[in-house]
């Protein structure tokens, strides 16, 4: 059911925890399944994500997608992080079962929420970033697996 990469990121998640005085914090959830994901960014003056941590309450796929999402944005610019999609997270994990695709969407939205928080705190606009939703429902998942 799950790829080896999903199992690895679930059993040995990367970047777990929180960042004290984070540059940006994003929290999103899915009321239907109960998953809650929070991502913390430490962003330097050059808009590079120096550190990233996460805390997730949810199923194994939610933990795995959070872990992989942090790996995909660490060391990247704010703009590059914005371009990380749920599809990229799923591909990096060698796929997810169709019923767990929404977990990858949570990861993408948590990244956007943390970037939004960073932009708000710093009074800047990040090109292409829209105000994130806090509740991510299955109806927003594209049917492309």
* Distance, CA of 76 to CA of 101 (rounded, Å): 24
Residue 33 designated active-site: yes
Q: Which of 25, 82, 103, 107 is catalytic?
A: 103
Q: Which of 22, 33, 113, 115 is catalytic?
A: 33
* Distance, CA of 34 to CA of 3 (rounded, Å): 23
Tokens at 132, concatenated = 């994130």
Residue 59 designated active-site: no
Residues 121, 124, 126, 128: is their CA dihedral positive or negative?
positive
Element containing residue 102 per DSSP (H, E)? helix 101-122
On the CB side of 13, CA atoms within 13 Å amount to 21
Catalytic residues: 33, 103
């Amino acid at each position: 059911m799950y790829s080896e990469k999903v199992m690895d990121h679930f059993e040995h998640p990367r970047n777990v925890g929180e960042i004290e005085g984070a540059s940006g914090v994003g929290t999103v959830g899915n009321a239907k399944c109960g998953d809650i994901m929070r991502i913390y960014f430490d962003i330097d003056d050059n808009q590079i994500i120096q550190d990233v941590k996460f805390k997730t309450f949810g199923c194994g796929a939610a933990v795995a997608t959070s872990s992989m999402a942090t790996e995909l944005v660490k060391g990247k610019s704010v703009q590059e992080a914005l371009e990380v999609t749920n599809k990229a997270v799923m591909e990096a994990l060698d796929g997810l079962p169709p019923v767990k695709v929404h977990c990858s969407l949570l990861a993408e939205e948590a990244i956007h929420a943390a970037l939004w928080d960073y932009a708000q705190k710093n009074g800047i606009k990040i090109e292409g970033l829209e105000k994130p939703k806090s509740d991510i429902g299955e109806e927003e998942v594209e049917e492309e697996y």
